[in-house]
Amino acid sequence: MILTIRAEPAASATVAAGRAVGLEIASWPLAELGPLEWALPPGEFDGVLLGSANAIRQGGPLVDNLVDKPVYAVGKATAAAARERGFTIACTGANNLQALLDGLAGERLRLLRIAGRERTAVIPPAGITVETVIAYESMALPLRERLPGGALVLLHSAAAARHFAAECDRLGIHRRAIRVAALSERIAEAAGAGWLEVRFAAGPNEGALLALARDMCHEPGPG
């Protein structure tokens, strides 16, 4: 059994993406997203930096005040959400926000980053200024059911990995009965030790994670 613990609507997107490649994935969300009050900083910006489509979905009406600014999006899904909201896309990264910024080296830009409370730290290159507003947060939910033995759990963030591990420990679920497929090495490390199997995707994107899940389902497990 493959499980995604992402908040909606991302969980449903993962289920649909899995179905498209022949994987049946069950949705067990262990978080829900909620908007936060935020304000536009003073001054003019040359563009909007987005590390997640949730910035568009949870950002509220203030986001519409920025639609005349080009978007620098971390990946295709984020770019699609911004485009649907009415933005034009200046640059689409390969699901790595730091790499996207590094690719702008040599330009002089003041960017507004709309982010969640949990976010990846970035270091802008010389000439690039990034100001950040916190527009949403992820609230943890309890694990309400015991996982079936041998379940393969997809982990998309370090916060989700830590929360999932804590919930398993709280409910007395043996880690040795669960396999983990993480979006990145950092996320795999956040899940901790003791799982039946822990692997991370070849690249930080949904396609690579689903390919890993397919491989883990088809290969004999440890022991």
The structural domain count of the chain equals 2
Q: Both 134 and 37 in a single domain?
A: yes
User: For every one of its 223 residues, what pLDDT tens digit does the chain have, with 9 covering 90 and above?
Assistant: 999 999 998 999 999 999 999 999 999 999 999 999 999 999 999 999 999 999 999 999 999 999 999 999 999 999 999 999 999 999 999 989 999 999 999 999 999 999 999 898 999 999 999 999 999 999 999 998 888 878 999 999 999 999 999 999 999 999 999 999 999 999 999 999 999 999 999 988 899 999 999 999 987 666 5
Query: Is residue 223 one of the residues assigned to a domain?
Result: no
Same domain, 26 and 37: no
Bridging pattern class, strands 47-50 and 31-35: unpaired
The range of the structural domain enclosing residue 186 comes to: 2-30+143-218
Which of 136-139's residues contact partners 24+ apart within 8 Å by CB, and which partners?
136/33, 136/34, 136/35, 136/36, 136/54, 136/55, 136/58, 136/59, 137/33, 137/34, 137/36, 138/7, 138/31, 138/32, 138/33, 139/31, 139/32, 139/33, 139/34
Could you tell me the pTM of the whole model? 0.84
Judge whether 52 lies within some domain: yes
According to the model, what pLDDT value does residue 220 have? 63
Counting other chains too, the contacts that 83-90 makes at CB distance below 8 Å and 24 or more residues apart are 84/56, 85/56, 87/48, 90/47
Q: What CATH number does the domain containing 69 carry?
A: 3.40.50.10090
pLDDT at position 90 is: 98
